[in-house]
Amino acid sequence: MTLYPLGLRLDGRQVLVVGGGAVATRRIPALLDAGARVHLVAPAITPALHGLADAGRVMWSAREFTPSDLDGVWLVHVAIDEPLAAQAISSLAEERQVFCVRADDRHAASAWTPAVTRHGPVTVAVLAGGDPRRAVAVRDQLAGLLASGAASGSAGSAAFASSSAASSSADAFVGEASTGGAPAQGLDRPHGTVALIGGGPGDPELITVKGRRLLQQADVVVADRLAPGLLLDELRPEVELIDVAKLPYGPAAQQDEINRILVDRAQQGLFVVRLKGGDPYVFGRGGEEALACFEAGVPFTVVPGVTSAIAVPAVAGIPVTHRGVAHEFTVVSGHLAPSDPGSLVDWQALAQMRGTIVILMGLRHLPSIVDTLLAFGRPADTPAAIVQEGTTRHELTVRGTLTDLPLLAGELRPPAIVVIGDVVTALGPI
């Protein structure tokens, strides 16, 4: 079968995804990044998809598929492993002349999802005649060329990349995209070990080179809601994706269960990646997971990540330090109220410091945090800002003063970073 490669412009167009498991968790971030209006139909969904639904990123119908779900749809992703149900949906899509991707049987589908890597404005998508492993191998070769600069996008480089794909007997399509990343070469996987990897603050290109390399070698990926979703779209098809997303103040997988999964899979001889948002050791419970591996005799490695505490304010135009303005900054967790006996933060000392305060996980308790800082002497007119979903296409920044923060929070939702200090206005109009 000869395929016709095509780049779909889905911005503002409706896409239907049927099924709420690991496949949907991997595919939906790329659809959202393309600007699609995603309608998710499934009786139950993963915690990560719950987070997208709660944030209004996807419309979730908690039920089985009905034919009317196809109304106004441009593309269908069937992400269920029930062949009869999948066939019924794809047949209805065929009747309506809507392209349909099937996770259970690609050869029975009218459209295929390629192996993809993103590098800045360039997307490389590879199809290999229905052989996903070969497609991934060719994709990784091309991604390596992009990362090294050998295929920079010039006419000569593009021809070289195309030639490489052709020599591997696969079909490759290179086009434009809005986000990106780079890749890993096909090295031997360190079986029976765990890698605790910081995925960065949200933009998939902000993962480290080592982090991406190890991620693409993983047999198992244990991810939470803050891990950059587009990175999951680049996993090899046989990778086991375990969603242990922790929604603030909502359903959560217990930490001891996460520890058990890491140890269990590694003891089966698999290479396990624990993919986190930000840095593993900055409010990421990476230390607990490292201890669990150590006590079980499981070798592990830690790959630091770009922490949102510094990166998110920076991208929003706020340096956490600035000459003549702030010579110190303090990062604190706001997941407990200042009055909570379990809080380890010295709020009085913070209030009396002149430097920058960066608060993670603090939206819920922001009113009491502000009251506490004011009570201990922090000036009411101290510049302040909140940055929601920083470094992503959904980034939103609001600015004001310390006393304005509870009002500024308004309808904002996690993840969000709160910055308090004169650095908020240090760069003026930037």
Is 71 a catalytic site residue?
A: no
Cβ density class 347-358: b for 16+ within 10 Å, e for less? beebbeeebbbb
CA 314/CA 321 separation, integer angstroms: 10
Active-site option among 203, 246, 279, 404:
246
Tokens of 203: 């933009």
Gyration radius of the chain over CA positions: 23
How far is the C-alpha of 313 from the C-alpha of 423, rounded, in Å? Answer: 10
DSSP H helices, 202-254, are: 209-215, 229-232
Residue 63, exposed/middle/buried by CB under 10 A (0-12, 13-18, 19+)? exposed
Round to whole Å and give the CA distance between 356 and 330.
6
321 to 182, 224, 398: CA distances (angstroms): 30, 30, 19
Taking phi over 0 as left and psi of -120 to 50 as alpha, with beta for the rest, 202 belongs to left
Choosing from 171, 203, 219, 224, the catalytic residue is 224
Q: What is the DSSP string of 132-177?
A: HHHHHHHHHHHHHHHHHTSS-SSHHHHHHHHHHHHHTT-EEEEEE-
Read off the tokens for 185: 């070469």
Is 246 in the active site? yes
* Amino acid letter for position 175: G
Q: Which residue has the tokens 């290479």?
A: 271
Residues annotated as catalytic (active site), given as ranges: 224, 246
